[in-house]
Each structure stands twice: as structure tokens, then as C-alpha cells.
Amino acid sequence: VRIDATQSISSSRRTFLRTVTGAAAFPGLRSLAGADRPKKTVVVTFGGGARDDETFMPDGQENIPHLLNELIPQATFFSQVVNRGILGHYVATASIVTGVYETFNNFAPVPPDNPTVFEYFRKDGKRPATDCWVVAPSNGFARIGESNHRAYGPGFGAGVILPKRLLTAALAGGDRERYQHLLRDNYETPLYAPPLTGTQLELNRMAEVLKLSVDDFAAHARSLASPDEMSVFVARQLMRQLAPSLLWVTLHDIDVAHSGTFSLYIEGIQRCDRLCAELWQAIQKDPEYANKTTMFILPDFGRDSDIDSGGNGFQHHRTGDQLSRTTWMMVLGPGVRQNVVVDRPVESIDLIPTLGSLLGFDARLSRGKPIAEVA
Amino acid sequence: VLPSQLVARSFEGYPPQARQIAANHIALLKRLPLGFLPLLLRELIGYDWKFPAERREMDGQLAYLTSLGPEQLAKAMEVFSHLRLAPALEKTDWVNSPSIFTEQLTAHLWSTHQIDAFRAGAVAYIEKSSAALPRQELPAHRLGIAVIGQGVHDNQYRLFRKLRPHGEYYTRVKAANGLATLLDVLKKRAASYPMPYGHWYIDGSTSAPPIAEGATSISYASLSGPRAVLQTRMRKFYEATVFDPEAFRSGMAQIQPEEIGLDAARDPVLARFQLSLLTEGSGTQVFATTFVQWAAREVWRRAQPLTVFARFGQRQRENPMNVLLAEAHRPPELDPQGSLIDADMSAYYTWVNQQRLAGAEKAAFLVWFEDHQEAIVTGPEFRQGKQSDVSTDLRDLVALIASAK
């Protein structure tokens, strides 16, 4: 039953993409030639998956015009990405980052148990600390850049920037009222909202890294519409100033769905759609990144179906049903086949070994397998 | 404590009726595995405040389990008996705090990758125990009514997109006094088929709800006092230096109706139900549209009534949680268009939850875009996936859904 349900989801996505974008089935395996190997990688994950009903189904396509019309025609699209782990956003993102289904408490401020992609990348490649960064939506993700694994851990991780915390620190003197829309919280429990306690020291350090004064950061933030917009702004600033080889951005606006407000959930999807396209455009315009960057976009998992009586439709991801476990991934960049669909199932933990093949590190403790179509 | 060590005194902390039922079934309870029993007790401990339909189901479930011979019971409990439980779980006070145990068990099952097996076992168990329940004839077909879009003048959103395949879409509905017309249906059904908690009016508008004689009424506006008390408590959690989600949940679960100003003396069952909407629902404390959707879902699921009338109003605009929780201290800015989209999806979910109940094949459901000409109706008398552009009086639609067989 599980296989049938999962394949049905995959088949619907494939059919729809073939209709809308003319995407073809993947023609066969081929390894990337040396010249095609990316020099830089950007990964975008959606915290708070978007269901097919609101994206790839006919009624949903109006919400993702940029993904459908601009990105998918340039991408290899994996229609069946299964997450067999815990469906909580921090622990699920940590599982993608380590390539192992992590089992810690989703709401605990703990590092992953297994080495992260950033540690593999930096240790094997002898990369400096400035070469990989994470931009994450809330304090709950503060420890995602570095595991507590004995063979890796401290000193080998990525820098983690939490834009909301920076903004809080920048507004320490007051004036929070005008920025309330950027300090919105995570709704994963009725009231899960880690305290935003940015420090001036941290802010000053970030201002130095981003080459952006506190005043300029606050002034620019005022023109942004949501936390995800702020995350993408920070990511682009990092690209301009440090040009990291590995950049990981997690978007989270969609997760407003936990409040039960369908219209806000839809707005979150539409914003993610636009921000992904903007990020890809920024990559193409930046000489440090253009034509040498691979971008991966994937939700961390899905959301509950309308039909499962144990859930409440789009609001949560608690049932563990196939719709909440099965999502998709698109890959764009030099050497990646364009406008093709891969039907076979892959797992979200396969991403890290795939990056290992592309970037030349050994994700030796990962439980996933390299995805041959893009590795 | 293990199930086999239970005695009647173990349940002294339970309310009177629940205690008596536990004592009457002590031999059965001792034979149930720890991976299952606390889940049953979580339902049993609230027996005194359950709706009649829930009590009937609990009685039926216990009768079903009692009827099983040793081998049959072992087979029915097979999945739950084979769960690998953490020793710490056995040490919790699962008899008196089965909800906390259940929450910890759920986390354990997720982290040990046993949740899928548990889920499959639970679905199979519910199917079998439900099938053993004696079928109860309904005095009339079930009817759901949803009114959406209060205060929206112009709308570009394509309404009823989820419901259209299941019903007939009317584009030219004449609806003078539409709200009164629909409320009259509720009143007449409540008078014709009187039954405790059998007819409900759920209101999410900002004004005081109309009186729906004979029906059980709940509303977002009339719960503003309890919501304000609850919001103050939630804000304290939110503003604490360290936020502990588990402590937050436990704290919410332990709140008594009287503590937030609910009148438990007048109707303890309804007071407990309202408390559960506000403490167990996500978003129900701050968004009127979410409150109505969740309330309608829970009413169908738990009370299993004949009639549900859900009127969706306008929710406050999105803001950071601390601002949302300060609703009582400032007049919230409202979002009519967003509320319409929320309510459109919520009406679909209200229909889905109606369809889960016995008698779904005869049930009728109507959604009306308040003060506009659009409506959709589902039921055996109506065509599925069809559109009617003929001028139609709402009273004629009401006559059809009220008389549907």
C-alpha cells in the first residue's frame, strides 16, 4: 500500500509537469564530466512542506509560476523524495544536513548527532570557515551548522546566521513595532517560539562579515515583507561579500500553515516560489557563481492529506501518511539535464552523499546513497 | 506500574463515572499491553465530560475487547504488544496522566521509527472495534451549513474549488435575509429531532451570535473572556527566557474550565469541550476562522450531531505571536479577503468531516457566500460537478436540503 500511494503521488507530479512544461523522462544515467563539476553549491530547503494540492495539481499551479515556468524547464526534477524520519522541521533539516535520520527532540536546542555536510566539506577539502554558511529562520536552527561528533564537530562546521536574531539585536534600542512582520514566529506547536535574544556582540560580528552596518541592515529590513525575504537578503549579501562555496538557506514562511489559516499558507508558498527564482537569478548575475553553481531546492517533507482522519489537512504534518512523507527536489546547474523528471524513489538523506560526489568529500557516516542522475 | 499490577484503587483519582467503569473492567485492563492501555485510559478518564456519542463508543469499545477470547485479544493487541518501549515510559504515572504518557509515547515512536507500524495497527484496531459497534439509526439525515465571507464586497478568488466536484454550484442565488433563512433550518431541525448535543451553531463573527433556539451554541466572540485569560498565560510562556514546549503543553493540558472563566457548573460537558478547543487546537486562540473550522471538525467527530451550522467571520491579520496574543488589549485589524479564502477551505474540511460519519450517503451540505449570489450544495438530491446559472431562491435550496432523504 505504501509503495502504491507514494508512486501515485510521484505519477501525478510527473504527469502534470509533462503537461505544463513538457518535461521528459530522464533519458539514462551519465556522470558529470570534470568540467561540469560545480564549484559552488546552493541548497534551499522549505521548512513546512507545500502539498501537491497547492503546487503541482491544477488548482495549485497559480501559486508556483516561477518554479513551473522558469526553474523546472532548466532542472532535473525528482518527483518522489521520501523522508522516513521524524517530521519536525529542525530534526528533519538536520537529517538532510547529516544524511542520517536524526532522532533528537525537535524542539531541543541541540546539535545533530552525526557529522554535517559542512564538516565533511571543510575537513576533507581543508576549507576555511568562511567557505560555508547556513541562513536559517529561527533560533531553533542555531545548532545546525556543526555536530557534536567526536571525529568532526567544533571547528569544522558552518557559520549559522539567524536573521531574525540579528534584527532583534539591531532593534535593541526599541522600534520593534515597525518590524513586527519580520519577527513572526514558528507555529509548529500552538506556541513554539524560541526567544529572540540577539546580542550586540553577535550583531557587530555579523555586520563585519556581511559588510553591512547595523543601520543599513535595519533600514533594508524595513522594506522586506517576511522573514524568508530577510533570509534571502542575507544569503545574497553573503554571496556578494564572501562568495561561499556551500550555502544552505532554509525558508520557513510556509509553516504559518500550523495556525490553520489557508490564505497565509498560500501566500507563503507564493513567496517561496518567487524567492527561489530571485536566488537563481542572483546566482546567474554574480560572476563568482554564474555557470559554476548547482542549486538544489527541496521541501524538508510534505504536509498531511485532506483525507487522513488523524490530521487536519494542510495544517499539520503529524499523521506520517504518505503525503506528509513524500516530497520532491529540483536540481539546476551546469551539466544537469534540463526539463527532465526522475520517477524512481530517492530519500531526503541521499542529498549529502550526492553533494559529496559533486564536491569531492566522503560523507562516510551518511546512510544515504549518491543520486546517480546528478552525482 | 505495569497493567497487570492494576487494582480498582488505582483509579481513585478518576471522576466518578470513569472510576466506576474502570473498576467494572479491571480484569480486562490488566490484560492490555502498555503500548495500548494508556491510550484507552486517555479517553476513559474524561468519560464524565464526554458527549453521548463518545460514551456510546467507549462503552462499545470496552464491550468489544471484553468479548474477545484470550487468543483473539492477543491478536488484536499484537502490534501494541510488540512495541519497544523505553523503560522511562513505564515509570511515568500513566494511570493518572495518560495524556502526558501518550505524548511521550508518540515522541518515542517517532524517534525509534515505530510510528508507521503503530499507525497501521491503530487504524486496523479502530476499524475492527468500530465494526463491532451496534448500528444506530438516525432520526434524520445529517445536515451541514457553512456561511463564509462576512464583510467581503468584491472577490476574485475562485470559490468552492474543492467542493465543486462533489456538489452543485449555484451562481445566481437570491438570498434576502439569507442568514435568518438558514438559521431557521437549524431551529426547525432542533425542534423536530430533539437530542442532547444533536444540533450546533458555531459562530466566528466579531459580534454577539444570534440565538439559535434548541441548538448548542459556541462562538469566538462569546469566548473572548476565556481566550483573554488563556492568551495572558500563553504570553507568559512566550516571553519566558527559555521556552519549554513540553512544559507549555503540560501546562495547557492541566487547565481547568473554571480557571479561564468557563461556566462548568451550568454545562460541564460543553465547558470541557470549549476548553479543549482552546487548549488543544492550534491557532484557535487567536484566529476566528481557525476556531470555527476546528470547532466544526471536533463537533462532527465527537458529538456526531444531526446538524452543524458554521458561520465564519473575519480573523485578525497575521502578526507576531506576542501581538496576536494581545488581542484583548487592542482592537485587532481584520483581514476579510484572507478570511474568505480560509473559510472556503474550512467549509470543505467541514464537509469532509461530515462525510466520515455514518449516514454520509444521505447527508446534505450547503455553503453560502454571505450576502452574495454564490452557493454550493451537496447531497443525494444534487448533481455532482455541475453548475446552475439559473436564478434560484435560497429558500428553495433550503427546502431541498431540509427534506433530503
Burial (0-12, 13-18, 19+ Cβ within 10 Å), A343? middle
CA distance A261 to A256: 7
- Which residues in chain B touch residue A312, judged by CB atoms under 8 angstroms apart? 294, 297, 349
* Dist. CA A98–CA A108, nearest whole Å: 17
- Quick: pLDDT tens for A253-265: 998 999 999 999 9
Nearest to A295 by CA among A44, A23, A118: A44
Banded model confidence at residue A30, pLDDT cuts 50, 70, 90: low
Distance from CA of A281 to the nearest CA of B (A): 30
When pLDDT is cut at 50, 70 and 90, the band that residue A194 belongs to is: very low
All residues of chain B having their beta carbon less than 8 Å from the beta carbon of residue A254 are none
What pLDDT, on a 0 to 100 scale, did the predictor assign at position B322?
Answer: 67
How distant is the alpha carbon of residue A48 from its chain centre? 10
Segment B186-195 mean pLDDT: 96
User: Closest-CA residue in chain A for B162?
Assistant: A59
Which residues of chain A neighbour B289 with C-beta distances below 8 Å? 260-261
A152 CB-near residues (< 8 Å, 6+ apart): A115, A116, A119, A120, A123, A146
- Higher local confidence (pLDDT), A271 or A21: A271
pLDDT at residue A187, rounded to an integer: 46
Question: Which of A87, A184, A261 minimises the CB distance to B283?
Answer: A261
Q: pLDDT per residue over B251-272, tens digit each?
A: 787 899 999 999 999 999 999 9
**Rounded mean pLDDT, A65-77:** 97
CB atoms within 10 A of CB B223: 22
Residue B331 CB contacts under 8 Å (≥ 6 apart), including other chains: none
A355's CB contacts (< 8 A; 6+ apart) are A41, A43, A117, A121, A246, A296, A361, A363
**Which residue(s) pair with A24 in the sheet?**
A340
Element (H, E) at B202: strand B199-203
> Cα torsion for A282, A283, A284, A288, to the nearest 10°?
120
Identify which of A86, A101, A261 has the shortest CB distance to residue B342: A261
Closest CA to A89 of A79, A104, A75, A74: A104
| CA–CA separation, B386 and B168 (whole Å) | 5
DSSP class of residue B317 equals P
- Inter-residue contact A227 to A253 (CB < 8 Å): yes
Residues of A in contact with B162 (CB under 8 A): 59, 306
Task: Give the predicted TM-score (pTM) of the model.
Answer: 0.91
Of B249, B318, B341, which is closest to A256 when you measure between CB atoms?
A: B318
Q: How far is CA B287 from the centre of its chain?
A: 16
> A173 CB near a chain B CB, below 8 Å?
no
Test A316 with B282 for CB contact under 8 angstroms: yes
Worst-scoring range by mean pLDDT, A40-44, B22-26, B273-277, B284-288? B284-288
How distant is the Cα of B307 from the closest Cα of chain A, in angstroms?
A: 20
Once rounded to an integer, what is the mean pLDDT over residues B165-185? 96
- Cβ contact (<8 Å) for B345 and A101? no
Is residue B335 a contact partner of residue B315, using CB atoms and an 8 Å limit?
A: yes
pLDDT digits (tens, 9 = 90+) for A335-361: 999 999 999 999 999 999 999 999 999
Q: Which residue has the cell 557559520?
A: A159
Residue-level pLDDT at A191: 37
Distances (CA, A) of B158 to A58, B63, B349: 13, 48, 17
Cell readout for A195 is: 526567544
For residue B5, how many C-alpha atoms fall within 13 Å in the half-sphere facing its CB?
Answer: 6
Q: What is the DSSP letter of B222?
A: T
Q: Is B259 exposed, middle or buried (0-12, 13-18, 19+ CB in 10 A)?
A: middle
Cα-trace Rg, chain B: 23
Q: Which of A189, A193, A320 sits opposite B249 (nearest CB)?
A: A189
- Return mean pLDDT, chain A: 86
Residue A353 burial by Cβ neighbours in a 10 Å radius (0-12, 13-18, 19+): buried
d(CA A52, CA A64): 11
Total length of chain A: 375
* Chain B: residue whose CA lies nearest to A260: B290
Per-residue pLDDT band for B134 (boundaries 50, 70, 90) equals confident
The partner residue sitting opposite A261, judged by closest CB among B161, B290, B297, is: B290
Binary contact (B341, A262; C-beta < 8 A): yes
Output the pLDDT for position A369: 97
B375-B381-B382-B388 Cα dihedral, nearest 10 degrees:
-70
**Residue among A63, A259, A308, A315 with most chain B CBs within 10 A, to mutate:** A259
Q: Under 8 Å CB-to-CB from A8, ≥6 apart: which residues?
A: none
The predicted model gives A198-208 an average pLDDT of: 64
Q: Which residues of B touch A85 (CB under 8 A)?
A: 113
Q: C-alpha grid cell for residue B8?
A: 480498582
φ/ψ of A66, rounded to 5, equals -70, -45
Q: A-B interface: how many C-beta pairs under 8 angstroms?
A: 123
Tell if the CB–CB gap between B234 and A190 is shorter than 8 Å: yes
Nearest CB to B318; choose among A107, A194, A264: A264
Extract the C-alpha cell encoding A200. Answer: 550586540
Closest-CA distance, B161 to chain A, in angstroms, reads 8
Name the residue among A85, A181, A258 with its Cβ closest to that of B283: A258
Q: Using the beta-carbon criterion (under 8 Å), do B287 and A266 form an inter-chain contact?
A: no
Are B345 and A185 a contacting pair at CB < 8 A?
no
Q: Which residues, in sequence order, are bridge partners of residue A246? A: A41, A132
Q: With a cut of 60, say whether residue B404 has pLDDT above it.
A: no
> For residue B380, what are the CA distances in angstroms to B146, B384, B397, B401?
18, 9, 13, 9
Q: Say what the pLDDT of residue A128 is.
A: 95
ipTM of the shown complex: 0.92
pLDDT at position A1 is: 32
Q: Which residue has the cell 492550534?
A: B282
A180 CA to chain B: closest CA distance, Å? Answer: 6
Residues of A in contact with B293 (CB under 8 A): 260
| Bigger pLDDT: A142 vs B121 | B121
Amino acid identity at B261: G
User: Quick one: what percent of chain B has pLDDT higher than 70?
Assistant: 97
Question: Given this model, what pLDDT does residue B243 score?
Answer: 63
Lowest mean pLDDT among B45-59, B116-130, B314-328, B363-377: B314-328
Indicate the burial class of B127 (C-beta count within 10 angstroms; 0-12, 13-18, 19 or more): exposed
Distance from CA of A86 to the nearest CA of B (A): 6
Q: How far apart are the first and last CA of chain A?
A: 30
CA of A263, closest CA in chain B: separation in Å?
5
> A326: which 3 cell numbers?
513524500
Probe site for chain A from B39, B238, B282, B334 (most A CB atoms < 10 A): B282
CA distance B29 to B271: 29
How far off is chain A from B82, nearest CA to CA, in Å? 20
- The grid coordinates of residue B249 equal 503543553
Dist CA A135 CA A142 (whole Å) = 10
Task: Output A150 or A220, whichever has higher pLDDT.
Answer: A150
What is the average pLDDT score of chain B?
92
Interchain CB distance below 8 Å, A261 and B241: no
Q: What SS3 class is residue B169?
A: strand
Q: Is A261 on the interface with B (CB under 8 A)?
A: yes
The reply to whether residue A190 touches residue B283, judged by beta carbons under 8 angstroms, is: yes
pLDDT band at A174 (very low <50, low <70, confident <90, very high): low
3-class secondary-structure state, position A281: helix
Q: How does pLDDT run across B100-123, given as a tens digit for each residue?
A: 888 889 888 988 889 889 988 998
- Residue found by looking up cell 557563481 in the block: A289
Nearest chain B residue to A322 by CA: give it.
B116
C-alpha cell at position A196: 529572540
- B/e letters for B143-152, b = 16+ CB within 10 Å, e = fewer, are bbbbbbbbeb
B243 contacts on A by Cβ (under 8 Å)? 191-195
Answer whether A195 sits within 8 Å of B356, measured CB to CB. Answer: no
Q: Is A184's Cβ below 8 Å from some Cβ in B?
A: yes
Q: Is A253 left (phi over 0), alpha (psi -120 to 50) or beta?
A: alpha
- Contact flag B344-A262 (C-beta cutoff 8 Å): yes
Q: Do A262 and B345 touch (CB under 8 A)?
A: yes
Nearest CA to A361 among A136, A135, A63, A156? A156
Assess A89–B contact: CB distance below 8 Å, yes or no.
no
